[in-house]
Every structure is written in structure tokens, then in C-alpha cells.
């Protein structure tokens, strides 16, 4: 285990001053950017898989799943549900298929989360659970709109419903998510993860080994 992960550093010391304005603008103005072909193809694969596995089964989404470790844990914990791990990196997903024996109720899908969320929402699908573990924090103040809560896809993500769980080793990120949820009339809980808790991802394991505190946000959408 390599315990050399650096803590997040940022020129932003508090909640971004533009957060309220950005979130409200996205809530009022639907995002109409074109859907990429590769996202449409990934969604078609998801539709076929879900139909074959049983469309009546609960659907769980693990967005930004990386090497699929967290998705595999979910699939084992929820054998009656269908679990979809999504990541835009083919390399990471290929590593997952070599590293793990994947159960039948788990699909690892290469796609951009923003595009896939829009396609899922367009079909009116509702999630039982949605987890986004250790998203890219985009720590520079100028990058607020690249964070999920500052991105135009934010209202679409909320519309998917379910129990949301997000994790980060940068507390400010989740504090902003909590505030963005409050602006969206959704209450969230934020807590510190115990240092000895079972890591769900390789990132979390590395952060723990580096002595960093990890944080957890939960909300019912």
C-alpha cells in the first residue's frame, strides 16, 4: 500500500461566492447540449442489459466507478438489484474485468456520466441508490462549473431520485454539495468517516493510508 497521497489544495477557502447564482440558474434553465454518440451507444447497451436481467428490478448507479471495486461491493450487497458502474476510462474498466469476477447483476459501462444521466432521465427511470465516490474535486476556484453541483447537469442528476451518497477527502467539496442541495430544497447529512472503516474504492484506501480524513454526504432525492 502506497501512503503518499497529497491532501487537496485550493485557492478557495470557503463556499464559492457564485454557488447560489450558478445552481439557481441551472435549476431554471434545462441543459440542451447534444448527446454524444458514444453515450447513446452506452445507453443502448444498458437498456438491452436491463431488459434481459429484469427491468422490474431496482436500479443502482455507481457513477465514476473507476476500477469497479465499489460497484462490485454494491452488487454483492444487493444481489436482487441491478448495479451499473459507470466510468469514462476504458483502461480503468478493463482493469476491473481482469481484477474481479463480475456477478450477473453488475454491468460496467464506459460513458460520460453527464450524458448517461440525461439519457436515463429521458426514459423516466428512477434509481434506488446513486453513489458518486471521490469525484474530481476541481479545486481551483475558477473550476466551480466543472464540479457536479456547479455543472448544468445538476438538475438532471437530482431527477434520477434514490438515496444519494457522495464521498470526498476535501470537506469543502461536500459542504458545497450540501448547500447546492439546500438551494434545490433537499436536505443532506454530512459526516466524517471513521478512519478504520472498510474502504469502498482504491482512492479511499490510499487516502486512509495517507492519514487523510474522508467525508460522507447522504441525501434522499
Is pLDDT above 70 for 3?
A: no
State residue 26's pLDDT score. Answer: 98
Mean pLDDT, to the nearest integer, of 29-54? 96
User: Which tens digits make up the pLDDT trace of 92-136?
Assistant: 998 888 888 899 999 999 999 999 999 999 999 999 999 999 999
Confidence of residue 184 (pLDDT cuts 50, 70, 90): very high
Give the Cα separation of 203 and 198 in Å (integer). 12
User: Which tens digits make up the pLDDT trace of 58-87?
Assistant: 999 999 999 999 999 999 999 999 999 999
State residue 135's pLDDT score. Answer: 96
| Residue 175: C-alpha distances to residues 119, 132, 183 (Å) | 28, 15, 12
| Residue 158: C-alpha distances to residues 16, 51, 89, 191, 203 (Å) | 20, 24, 24, 21, 25
DSSP 6: P
State residue 1's pLDDT score. Answer: 46
User: Which tens digits make up the pLDDT trace of 7-25?
Assistant: 899 999 999 999 999 999 9
Amino acid at each position: 500500500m502506497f501512503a503518499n497521497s497529497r491532501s487537496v489544495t485550493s485557492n478557495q477557502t470557503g463556499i464559492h461566492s457564485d454557488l447560489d447564482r450558478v445552481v439557481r440558474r441551472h435549476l431554471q434553465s434545462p441543459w440542451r447540449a447534444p448527446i454524444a454518440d458514444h453515450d447513446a451507444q452506452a445507453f443502448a447497451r444498458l437498456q438491452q442489459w436491463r431488459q434481459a436481467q429484469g427491468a422490474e428490478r431496482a436500479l443502482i448507479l455507481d457513477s465514476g466507478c473507476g476500477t469497479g471495486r465499489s460497484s462490485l461491493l454494491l452488487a454483492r450487497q444487493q444481489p436482487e438489484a441491478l448495479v451499473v458502474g459507470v466510468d469514462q476510462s476504458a483502461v480503468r474498466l478493463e482493469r476491473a474485468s481482469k481484477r474481479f469476477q463480475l456477478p450477473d447483476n453488475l454491468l460496467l459501462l464506459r460513458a460520460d456520466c453527464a450524458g448517461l444521466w440525461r439519457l436515463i432521465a429521458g426514459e423516466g427511470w428512477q434509481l434506488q441508490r446513486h453513489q458518486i465516490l471521490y469525484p474530481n474535486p476541481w479545486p481551483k476556484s475558477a473550476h466551480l462549473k466543472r464540479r457536479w453541483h456547479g455543472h448544468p447537469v445538476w438538475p438532471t442528476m437530482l431527477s434520477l431520485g434514490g438515496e444519494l451518497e457522495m464521498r470526498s477527502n476535501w470537506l469543502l467539496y461536500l459542504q458545497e454539495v450540501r448547500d447546492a442541495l439546500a438551494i434545490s430544497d433537499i436536505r443532506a447529512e454530512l459526516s466524517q468517516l471513521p478512519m478504520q472503516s472498510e474502504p469502498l474504492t482504491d482512492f479511499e484506501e490510499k487516502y486512509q493510508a495517507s492519514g487523510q480524513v474522508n467525508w460522507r454526504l447522504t441525501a434522499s432525492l
